[in-house]
Structure 1
Amino acid sequence: DAFLVFRALCKLSMKPLPEGTPDPKSHELRSKILSLHLLLSILQNAGPVFRNNEMFITAIKQYLCVALSKNGVSSVPEVFELSLAIFLALLQNFKVHLKKQIEVFFKEIFMNIL
């Protein structure tokens, strides 16, 4: 059940926003922000089972990393900030399992911003 919720939140966070400047009260933007907040909360409060379970590590690689690559370049400040906070939570709790993915984030997303 936890796996399905995690995957659903990742997919919800990847839904595209309407063209142009999104309305802060739009359903799409609010859903994206809520899903990112919940994903951040999951990662910050992850216990040892979540941090070391191969199924969840694979879910992070397959779903969350893709969601971060899409949201990490968002022009919406709150979406970008939440994506950065999620990335930092991954660094703190999952860096042993995600070395290749972290390298890609630095090279492809964050170095381009700088």
Structure 2
Amino acid sequence: MNALDWIAREKSWPQFFRFYRKVSRTVGSETHSALLTDPDLAAEIGPVKRQKHPDPVGFTAEMHALRDLGDIMLAQIVKDPRTAALPRPLTGAEMHALRKRQAGMNRLVSQFSPQHVGLTPQLDA
């Protein structure tokens, strides 16, 4: 891809922005590296919110295997097989189960206390 294609209007600008977003999220790319080390951007964005689960895009089999090894080491160090596993991307089945639990909780609150439906806590993974 050539940057001049967009300037010459041979390619659409929405396609450029999709390409830029993809490149800026690719770990190890020059664009990603530049964004991570830009102090002005960091000041503008503010504190980074930590995710409980990583983004599935770019989560490779090697990363999954490393998390498995980390889980094994953690279980050996704390001597508890129920130790929390290192975070992995959420699967569709996990998201479906979470939505189902949320719907059940909302239904229960609406049956016993309809005036408090808006106060029902939202589950997150």
- The answer to whether TM tops 0.5 is no
Q: Which has the larger radius of gyration?
A: 2
Return the TM-score normalized by structure 1. 0.25
Return the TM-score normalized by structure 2. 0.23
